[in-house]
Amino acid sequence: MRELYPEIEPYRTGRLKVSDLHELYFEESGNPNGQPVLFLHGGPGGGTKPKNRRYFDPAHFRIILFDQRGSGQSTPFAELTENTTWHLVDDIERLRTELGVDRWLVFGGSWGSTLALTYAVTHTDKVTGLILRGIFLCREEEIRWFYQYGCHFIFPDAFEKYVQPIPEDERDDLLFAFYARLTDPDESVRIEAAKAWSGWEGSALELIP
């Protein structure tokens, strides 16, 4: 199995204000004169990690990472206002312009693949290619299968823990029930729901226990 490239540090970090509310963290590493590649993290809300730089040959690529709205080192953290797919697509374009990139290779996994595909469809002339893994098209049937009905057959024990914070009479629409709790004014309610939600996602990410 091929290993990741060695650890590297960014040669540039910065912040990009994209609205009166949101400011994004971005960084560049690798070869400043190399082929531009943009890494799109998952989640939504996952944020970037130093390990993400290691997917690319630093001698060849100008490696660009950024934290999407509400994620990682971008501010305000976990903010949902002005935070839609289309806001994120616009942010990618603003970052491309800010960095003086004509066209770039776009890499995304999971939610990052959804965002990469959306960006590529709407800005085809700015993309030299796509590298996608864990492809997720964010269609309603996929969301329902994972969070409501389908995936629970594969991970029944994890699913029982996932639905525990939700009363049985609200389990016909788990997405709505979790959204209500994740946005509840009571922090303890939000934390309980967030732990259950993230625990389910973590348990169902791979088939190997």
Work out the pLDDT band at 205, boundaries 50, 70, 90.
Answer: confident
pLDDT at 1: 66
Distance of CA 135 to the CA centre of its chain: 12
Kindly state the average pLDDT of the residues 149-174.
96
- Domains belonging to the chain, first-starting first, are 12-133 (3.40.50.1820), 140-203 (no CATH)
| pTM of the shown model | 0.89
Q: Which two tokens stand for residue 83?
A: 């935070």
Mutual angle of helices 85-98 and 111-122, in 10-degree steps: 70
Mean pLDDT of the chain: 96
Q: Which two tokens stand for residue 144?
A: 């329902």
- Give all strands (DSSP E) within the chain, no chain letters: 12-17, 23-30, 35-40, 61-66, 104-109, 127-133
Q: Which residues of 65-75 are buried (b: 16+ CB within 10 A; e: fewer)?
A: bbbbbbbbbbb
pLDDT at 209: 59
Identify the bridge partners of residue 37 per DSSP, sorted by sequence position: 63, 105
pLDDT at 2: 79
pLDDT in tens, 2-12: 799 999 999 99
Q: Which two tokens stand for residue 8?
A: 């590297």
- What is the C-alpha to C-alpha distance for residues 25 and 72, in angstroms, rounded to an integer? 8
- What is the C-alpha to C-alpha distance for residues 8 and 60, in angstroms, rounded to an integer? 14
pLDDT in tens, 76-125: 999 999 999 999 999 999 999 999 999 999 999 999 999 999 999 999 99
- Is a pLDDT exceeding 90 seen at residue 208? no
Burial category of 64 from C-beta neighbours within 10 Å (exposed 0-12, middle 13-18, buried 19 and up): buried
Kindly state the average pLDDT of the residues 49-73.
98
- Comparison of pLDDT for 137 and 106, the residue scoring more: 106
